[in-house]
Amino acid sequence: MGKNRIIVLLLLLVITVHAQETQLSFKQVDSTSYSFYLKQDWKSVIDLGKKSQQAGIDFYYLKVRMGVAYFKVEKMLSAVKMFEEAYAVNPSDIFVQEYLYWAYVYSGLNLESQLFYQKMAQTVKDSVKLKLPVVSAIDVGFVATNNSDYDDMLTSVGYSDDGESRYFPDKYQLYTLGLNHPLSKGINLYHRVTYMPIESNYQLNSAGEVENTSYEGEEIRYYADATFALGNKWYLDMYLDLIFGSYDDLTTQTTVGNGNGNGSGVRYKYDEENYTDYVFGASITKAMYFTRNTVNVSYSNLNDADQFQVGYTISIYPLGSTYFVPFASVQYQNESKNSNSDSRFIFSGGISAGTKDFNITGFGNFGDMHNFNSNNGSLIYNQSATTTNEYGAILQVYLKKAIIKVGYSYMEMEDNYVTADYLISTKKYKFNQNNIIGGITWRL
């Protein structure tokens, strides 16, 4: 019995000594993290800091060292977290002030950096030298769209009966010019003009024979989005779309050329039918360390109907940086026209991944996108046909003073036939649409 007691006591002594050797202390964490910091061993600073904080050991200089380490490995959102905590302890530290300012900038929280600039010491302001130009960026872009089933649709009546008809697009382009204006510290205005020429086709089933009539239209769009930084990483966006469009009224056909004399090559002109539509809305965003959450609401009158839309979007930053960001959105839309009402949900999601030099975003949109807007009204789905699904990818390359963007999306479309009495039929036809996307942004 005596020997057993001695063995048990020895085991307890060994365990106690081992625990004391492995247990972290303030002095050990302070000296070791400082040593790693001086050696610029950023990974070790971060690993030790995490273990220390989990063990309940946390102090001002550990937050600062971890903030610098996250900054150096380009995990800017984690750096923001550490520097904000350090700033809360000692707001007069100019070293922390400057690092926090640039962490805001590099994590995409530019308006937050502008608000924080006003709190910084004059010596830090003199170092940063923040200037707000009248125009901070100029962008031009284009989207080239074509109906990949157009040629087949021209020669087929589809599922239509005699006297029924359908409208479908051939191709159109969007040409855009945008300007970004920092109106003041914490307020930004982006606005853009879009010109969109459209080529479409009207097809009539005449006793089983196809009669095609091509017609044209155009749209001019003006879009504006004002963003207000409310403090503590809350942001309010208010946006507006004005759409001025026209298309050939096929009921007003007038002959303007006799062709070659035998009836072929005859040219026609049409009166124009004009329309004006709008979208206006607002969204509020809360940027947190590892998520950004947005709630949006909008009202529109696209295509002679009234639309109310509300939705929620979340972006997740699991690595504490902007280099890998899954995102998802759900939108509810109610549309009413002539006392008829229809409601639908649209779901979106994707992943953005890249480095400081480039970024690739893959996305998908699912649901009936008809008279629908997304991305704070910057994208409008107002074709007569409904987009049922969309898949795409966009590549952005970051140069010193410019961002180059190229992309592609594939849309699955459907629309209704029109009866001989000019009523909307319950029968549908489908086609697919390809979109080539390009653009460049100059940062001034």
Question: Residue ranges of the domains in the chain?
Answer: 24-128, 137-443
Say what the pLDDT of residue 24 is.
84
Helix locations, 118-262, DSSP H: 122-128, 150-154
- Residue 400 CA to chain centroid, in angstroms? 22
Which letter does DSSP use for residue 338 in this model?
T
With beta carbons less than 8 A apart as the criterion, state whether 418 and 166 touch.
yes
Q: What CA–CA distance (Å, rounded) separates 437 from 439?
A: 7
Orientation angle between helical segments 60-72 and 42-54, nearest 10 degrees = 140
Q: How distant, in Å, are the alpha carbons of 76, 308, 435, 439 from that of 353? A: 15, 33, 22, 19
pTM exceeding 0.75: yes
Whether 140 and 167 have beta carbons less than 8 Å apart is answered as no
Whole-angstrom distance, CA of residue 262 vs CA of residue 298: 55
CB 169 within 8 A of CB 199: yes
Rg (C-alpha) for the chain, rounded Å, is 30
- Tell which CATH architecture fits domain 24-128: Alpha Horseshoe (1.25)
360-380 CB burial, b ≥16 within 10 A, e <16? ebebebbbbbbbbbbebbeeb
Calculate the CA 171 to chain-centre distance: 25
Give the architecture (CATH level 2) of 137-443.
Beta Barrel (2.40)
DSSP three-state, residue 377: coil
Report the alpha-carbon distance of residue 375 to residue 348 in Å, rounded. 11
Residue 47 near residue 73 (C-beta atoms within 8 A): no
- Residue 190 contacts residue 225 (beta carbons within 8 Å): yes
Q: Whose structure tokens read 């979007």?
A: 313
The percent helix, strand, coil of the chain (3-state, each to 5) is 25, 55, 20
User: Please, what is the end-to-end C-alpha distance for the chain in angstroms?
Assistant: 85
The dihedral through the CA atoms of 106, 112, 113, 116 has a sign that is negative
Q: Is the dihedral of CA 320, 324, 330, 335 positive or negative?
A: positive
Q: What is the DSSP letter of 315?
A: E
Give the number of C-alpha atoms closer than 13 A to the C-alpha of residue 197, restricted to the C-beta side: 3
Report the alpha-carbon distance of residue 348 to residue 117 in Å, rounded: 36
Of the candidates 108, 106, 180, the one whose C-alpha atom is nearest the C-alpha of residue 443 is 180
**Do residues 386 and 413 lie in contact, with contact meaning Cβ atoms separated by under 8 Å?**
yes
Written as tens digits, the pLDDT of the chain (444 aa) is 455 555 545 554 444 434 344 478 999 999 999 999 999 999 999 999 999 999 999 999 999 999 999 999 999 999 999 999 999 999 999 999 999 999 999 999 999 999 999 999 999 999 999 999 999 999 999 999 999 999 999 999 999 999 999 999 999 999 999 999 999 999 999 999 999 999 999 999 999 999 999 999 999 999 999 999 999 999 999 999 999 999 988 877 776 665 554 444 556 677 889 999 999 999 999 999 999 999 999 999 999 999 999 999 999 999 999 999 999 999 999 999 988 999 999 999 999 999 999 999 999 999 999 999 999 999 999 999 999 999 999 999 999 999 999 999 999 999 999 999 989 999 999 999 999 999 999 999
**DSSP conformation class of 304:** G
Neighbours of 71 (CB within 10 A): 21
